[in-house]
Amino acid sequence: MSFAHHGKPRMKRLALPLFLGLCAFVGGHTAAWLGPRWTATVQAQPATGTLIPPSPVASDILRISDRFEAVARRVGPTVVSIEATKPGNGPNQVKVKPVEETGSGVIVRLEGVPQFLVLTNNHVITGARPEQITISTHDGRLLRPGHVWADPESDIALLRLDQSDRLAAATLGDSDQVRVGQWVLAFGSPFGLSQTVTHGIISARERGQVSLGSTIRIKDFLQTDAAINPGSSGGPLVNLDGEVIGINTAIASQSGGNSGVAFSIPVNLVKRVARQLLERGSVSRGYLGLQLAPSFEPADALRLGLDRVQGALVETVYPDTPAAAAGLKPNDVILQLDGTPIRNENHLINWVSTLPVGRRVRLSVWRDRQLVQLEAVIGDWSQAQGRFRTAP
């Protein structure tokens, strides 16, 4: 879960061991109208009694504050705390005391599904059976999921709630429309403190250079400086329209606490994975059969004759794979796929994973200081993953 070496920040997933304890659940109210309450505040001048209108800056601050409050009132009732009891395994699979962890989640509705669903992270509930998972609502009710779906490769989990009375559902937004610098609110249960809300901005998009363990391959995070801490995993990241744009997943930290660098799974990815989990029980993904360099440095680009760092550098081509059949070789740099520039290795992995099995694609490849055009046929990752656990 980390790459903490020689002073580099440590990536930490945010499920929280239960030994820290849970605080009492905070009661909430039903969802209210989201629009801002435009406050007509004035300032009194004591000496003369003259009323002075607030400055434009003060008015802007009040409007932002009112919007934060409105979003918190609307989204708060949809946020839940999650406790999961997981089997304990020591060295050589020796059973030890079960591990109890806490995280967060958000209640949603998806088209065609009559029940309410809870979105959270796979690492919050992995290894726990439905009867070992407790979901606490904003008003203190305790629920068990009727069914659990999970996708370890994207760290997304979906819990079905068969109880349908008096539950509020959050609205899912469009993460493709998220802008750097945009205000956001993060909801969750950091350190077991349920119904916690923090604020910040979107610091960056499409972050993929995040090490979170061997099971997570699909990494395309929104970065935020909203305060997120252990126990916040699975909680929603929300825009100022009250729409969920991400699921909080990890932090970069030297100490394990908030450092202003946190990562959320974009909600559009969550929606795609959730739909496949509901329809098929698993996620279908394409693959080529490559090992890509985890980093592509300026020195590497110059050595290969490129004038900028771009594309995905091939380290290994596995035999009997679509990549081998296409003629890809080590030290190739894949610059484009079907005419679209490849930003980095993570961009290529994520894109290939979304392509249908059997699709023929065109690859623009930099080889021996010249451009080469190749064709590849996307393979079925579900059949190949036993052989190539880390291949794109």
The CA distance from 233 to 132, in Å, is 18
Do residues 222 and 205 make contact, with C-beta atoms less than 8 angstroms apart?
yes
Among candidate residues 81, 104, 123, 138, the one labeled active-site is: 123
Is residue 174 part of the annotated active site? The answer reads no
The CA distance from 294 to 315, in Å, is 9
DSSP letter assigned to residue 26: P
Instruction: Give how far the C-alpha of residue 178 lies from the chain's centroid of Cα atoms, to the nearest Å.
Output: 14
Among candidate residues 189, 194, 233, 353, the one labeled active-site is: 233
Token pair belonging to 287? 């693959």
Three-class SS state of 341: strand
The CA distance from 96 to 322, in Å, is 43
Given the DSSP bridges, would you call strands 171-172 and 243-253 parallel, antiparallel or unpaired? parallel
Token pair belonging to 257? 């606490």
Do residues 170 and 75 make contact, with C-beta atoms less than 8 angstroms apart?
yes
Q: Give which of 105, 82, 213, 116 is closest to 156, Cα–Cα.
A: 105
Residues in the chain: 392
Q: Give which of 165, 66, 22, 58 is closest to 107, Cα–Cα.
A: 165
Is residue 123 part of the annotated active site? The answer reads yes
Among candidate residues 155, 220, 225, 332, the one labeled active-site is: 155
| Side-chain-side CA neighbours of residue 128 (13 Å) | 28
Is residue 155 part of the annotated active site? The answer reads yes
Q: Active-site residue numbers? A: 123, 155, 233
